[in-house]
Amino acid sequence: MDSLLSVIQKHWGYDSFRPLQREAMTAAMESQDSLTVLPTGGGKSLCYQAPAVCRNGMTVVVSPLIALMKDQVDSLSECGVPAAFVNSSLSSQERMKVASQVRGGELKLLFAAPERLVQQRTIDFLADVDLSFIAIDEAHCISNWGHDFRPEYRRLSSLRQAFPDVSIHAFTATATEQVRQDIAEQLNLKAPKILVGSFDRPNLLYRVERRHDVIGQIREVVDRHPNESGIVYCISRSNVEETAATLNSLGYKTLPYHAGLEPDQRKANQEAFIDEKTNIIVATVAFGMGIDKSNVRYVVHAEMPRSVEAYQQESGRAGRDGLEAECSLIYSGRDTSTWEFLINQSENDDNRTASLQALGKMESFCFSSVCRHRQLVSHFGQQLEQDNCGACDVCLNEIECHQDPLLLAQKIVSSIYRQGQRYGAEYTSLVLRGSKSKKVLTNGHDQLSTYGLLKDESERDVRGWIDQLVAQEFLSRSGEYSVLVISDSGFQLLKGKGTPQLTRPKTRQQAASATGKWEGVDRGLFENLRQMRMEIAAKRGVPPYVILGDMTLRELARFRPTKTGDLLQIYGIGQKKREEFGATVAERIAEYCREEELAADLPILDTNRIAK
């Protein structure tokens, strides 16, 4: 532990371990197979990076995407740790250079894709290398039960036979107990140490709302985070393009990302976001897994994700640095139909049932009035300790529960029954709200006893209640036109039996923002240091957050150190970074303090410099 602490302080500028990091690192140091599940932002990478530095030999890391490998190697290099990757982006000359570094024992970590690592020529090459251990990142990809199954990961089971004396350590952010068992079995782990951290991300503020003006709803979130990085997710390529174009026309600087773009354009858009040349990326869910960007301050799902696991992973791309971030989910009942169509079109019988069940759980999450943090950790088999998380729309009292949900549900279900169960949610809403539309009048439904029963309610609320009744299985949608059909439990409601939960958002002047760690931080100096960070990053050809994270910038702007010797007391600054650009940082702070007549070199308090 002394060796590990010394290493993480020297290279990463941290003074202590985050939950389960000590245990995960011990397993790697002692060559005991392990499976570690930590939420995004929980410090998984350090669990194998620090032991790799401490141990003799070289660690091989399995990583699924080129961009992710580059991100990790850039970050390690800036911390003074020799690392490299080998993948299809390298020229033959560059691959030969990496091979030479491996043979010469110059590297502590080598990153490779799963399909490359299991090739016989790669295994033969590594057979003559002193391997300390093998780390498998994004290990949930190996499981059929996971949300992002990748067939090439299954072949990693051959690593145990190829390297019987080398320990294997799997890492993932999202894995239910079933997925954890599958990972351990597929990798042939020997008596593995299973480490499962808390799935709660207390720094994330979750909001869920029904879609009624999607661009307006997206803008509300973006406007709460001026000049900060954010991701907007859509299901389809066309929605990505349309949303990005509309936001751009309104003065927001956005770029699209989806599989239909030319590879060079897609890569350029991703790099523009990583390098903070644009603050907003509008993307399909394919975006995000391949980057390690720590300072995403908000994630908006403009449409419902396909599973709770997917939502945990995608929303978890916000706030990886441990600072506050906002996750807004904007849904509609139509999203369920879209996903059902895609699942039925693309998946075989073995996977289809599981995928549809997962979709149902995601739908229930959207329509529930239970604490969002509680629901997420419960999905992964854990319990939230506190009664009020203080960081979701439910616990912030932004959602109103209807005082008589049974009577309200009876009005809706009764109207559907009297309409002959032949119409969808939009039409049913027209009838209940007393619309004079031609179709309602032609059908004579203005004569129904349920006509106009909810004339004082908004269309958004009525549609939301219908969706909630569907999610709670009192109603179902049928056929191509999503006709509303009453279930057995729905008929029980008409008899006064059942306990539906019906909610609507409260009218609010301004949504609460995620509470952050801004106490004592000079915002002007923070922005000044952000600009300095971009300048340094541009010169070095790496993403800005690799240079200094937002948490580090906030501490610098809080304590305002102007002596390079004091920088090692700042979170996230190790020896290498102090040597490389410590003088630039100190001079920038000193200059700002002089111009603004601010006191410099405030006492640096113990801010619990925990490893990320």
User: Each residue of 123-176: pLDDT tens digit?
Assistant: 999 999 999 999 999 888 887 665 667 778 888 989 999 999 999 999 998 778
> Do 548 and 459 belong together in one domain?
no
Domain termination residue (choose one: 505, 531, 557): 505
Q: Which helix (H) or strand (E) holds 51?
A: helix 44-54
Of the CA atoms within 13 Å of residue 22, those in its CB half-sphere come to: 9
Per-residue pLDDT, 612: 38
Q: Supply 226's token pair.
A: 């001026």
What's the helix, strand, coil split of the chain in %, to 5?
45, 15, 40
Number of domains forming the structure of the chain: 4
Per-residue pLDDT, 33: 96
Residue 607 lies in a domain: no
Mean pLDDT of 290-305: 88
Taking alpha carbons only, the member of 89, 128, 85 closest to residue 108 is 85
Report the alpha-carbon angle 442-448-451, nearest 5: 90
Kindly report the number of other CB atoms within 10 A of residue 87's CB atom: 16
> Do 99 and 247 belong together in one domain?
no
Amino acid at 403: Q
Residue 601 lies in a domain: no
Span of 286-290, 381-385, 580-584 with lowest mean pLDDT: 286-290
Q: How confident is the model at residue 313 (pLDDT cuts 50, 70, 90)?
A: confident
CB 552 within 8 A of CB 573: yes
List the CATH number of the domain containing 411. 1.10.10.10
Measured CA to CA, the distance from residue 382 to residue 288 in angstroms comes to: 26
Mean pLDDT of 92-113: 94
Q: Supply 109's token pair.
A: 């970590």
Measured CA to CA, the distance from residue 138 to residue 423 in angstroms comes to: 44
Q: How confident is the model at residue 610 (pLDDT cuts 50, 70, 90)?
A: very low
Using DSSP, how many helices (H) and how many strands (E) does the chain show? 26, 17
CB 36 within 8 A of CB 24: yes
Domain termination residue (choose one: 446, 475, 505): 505
> Do 192 and 208 belong together in one domain?
no
Measured CA to CA, the distance from residue 47 to residue 160 in angstroms comes to: 21
Per-residue pLDDT, 150: 75
Residue 146 lies in a domain: yes
Measured CA to CA, the distance from residue 494 to residue 119 in angstroms comes to: 63
SS (H, E, C) 167-213: CEEEEECCCCHHHHHHHHHHCCCCCCEEEECCCCCCCEEEEEEECCC
> Do 15 and 157 belong together in one domain?
yes
pLDDT in tens, 182-237: 999 999 999 999 999 888 999 999 999 989 899 999 999 999 998 899 999 999 99
The neighbouring-strand residues paired with 232 are 282, 300
> Do 225 and 123 belong together in one domain?
no
460 three-class SS = helix
Per-residue pLDDT, 252: 94
> Do 142 and 219 belong together in one domain?
no
> Do 437 and 488 belong together in one domain?
yes
30 burial level (CB within 10 Å; 0-12, 13-18, 19+) = exposed
List the CATH number of the domain containing 589. 1.10.150.80
Residue 512 lies in a domain: no
18 three-class SS = coil
Residue 359 lies in a domain: yes
Domain termination residue (choose one: 474, 505, 536): 505
Q: How confident is the model at residue 515 (pLDDT cuts 50, 70, 90)?
A: very low
Measured CA to CA, the distance from residue 489 to residue 487 in angstroms comes to: 5
> Do 449 and 489 belong together in one domain?
yes
Measured CA to CA, the distance from residue 508 to residue 564 in angstroms comes to: 47
Q: What are phi and psi of 233, to 5 degrees?
A: -100, 135
Range of the domain at 589: 523-596
Say whether pLDDT at 59 is over 70.
Answer: yes
> Do 10 and 114 belong together in one domain?
yes
Q: How confident is the model at residue 414 (pLDDT cuts 50, 70, 90)?
A: very high
Measured CA to CA, the distance from residue 72 to residue 111 in angstroms comes to: 9
Say whether pLDDT at 509 is over 50.
Answer: no
> Do 220 and 130 belong together in one domain?
no
> Do 181 and 275 belong together in one domain?
no
Measured CA to CA, the distance from residue 112 to residue 69 in angstroms comes to: 8
The dihedral formed by the CA atoms of 384, 388, 392 and 396, expressed in degrees to the nearest 10: 180
Residue 511 lies in a domain: no
> Do 154 and 8 belong together in one domain?
yes
Mean pLDDT of 319-344: 90
pTM of the model: 0.78
Residue 469 lies in a domain: yes
Length of the chain: 612
Mean pLDDT of 278-303: 86
Residue 518 lies in a domain: no
CB 305 within 8 A of CB 334: no
List the CATH number of the domain containing 94. 3.40.50.300
Measured CA to CA, the distance from residue 300 to residue 284 in angstroms comes to: 12
477 three-class SS = strand
CB 511 within 8 A of CB 468: no
Q: How confident is the model at residue 289 (pLDDT cuts 50, 70, 90)?
A: low
pLDDT in tens, 434-451: 999 999 999 999 999 999
pLDDT in tens, 247-266: 999 999 999 999 899 989 98
Amino acid at 286: A
